[in-house]
Amino acid sequence: MNKNSNIYQILYAAVLVLLVGSVLALIYMALKPKQNENIANDTRKQIMSALHIAAPDDSKVKETYEKYIIQDLLVDRDGNVVDSAKNVAFNVDMKKNVKLAERLLPVMKCKMDDGSIKYVLPMYGAGLWGPIWGYIAMNDDGNTIYGANFSHEGETPGLGARIADKDFQDKFVEKHVFQNGEYKGVVVLKKGQKSINGAEQIDALTGATITSLGVSAMLENCLAPYEAFLKKMQTPATPEPAAIESEINDNQPE
Partner 1 sequence: MLSKKNKEALFNPLSKDNPVLVQILGICSALAVTASLEPAIVMGISVICVLAFSNVIISFLRKTIPTNIRIIVQLVVVAALVIIVQQVLIAYNYDVSKQLSVFIGLIITNCILMGRLEAFAMHNSPWPSFLDGIGNGLGYTIVLVIVAFFRELLGSGTLFGFHVIPQWCYDHGYENNGLMILAPMALITVGCIIWVHRSRNKELQEN
Q: Residue numbers of the site for partner 1 (CB under 8 A)?
A: 3-4, 8-9, 12-13, 16-17, 20, 23-24, 27-28, 31, 34-35, 38-39, 41-42, 154, 157-158
Cβ proximity to partner 1: between 43 and 221 the closer is: 43
Q: Are 52 and 139 in contact (CB under 8 A)?
A: no
CB within 8 Å of 183: residues ≥ 6 apart:
177, 224, 227, 230, 231
Smallest gap from residue 39 Cβ to partner 1 (A):
7
102 HSE (CA, 13 A, CB side): 1
The distance of Cα 154 from the centroid of its chain, to the nearest Å, equals: 16
Smallest gap from residue 190 Cβ to partner 1 (A):
21
CB within 8 Å of 19: residues ≥ 6 apart:
none
Closest CA to 215 of 136, 138, 107: 136
Cβ proximity to partner 1: between 152 and 184 the closer is: 152
Cβ proximity to partner 1: between 27 and 82 the closer is: 27
Smallest gap from residue 157 Cβ to partner 1 (A):
8
- Distance between CA 96 and CA 94 in Å, rounded? 5
Cβ proximity to partner 1: between 30 and 100 the closer is: 30
CB within 8 Å of 134: residues ≥ 6 apart:
46, 50, 122, 123, 148, 149, 150, 151, 163, 215, 218
Cβ proximity to partner 1: between 19 and 82 the closer is: 19
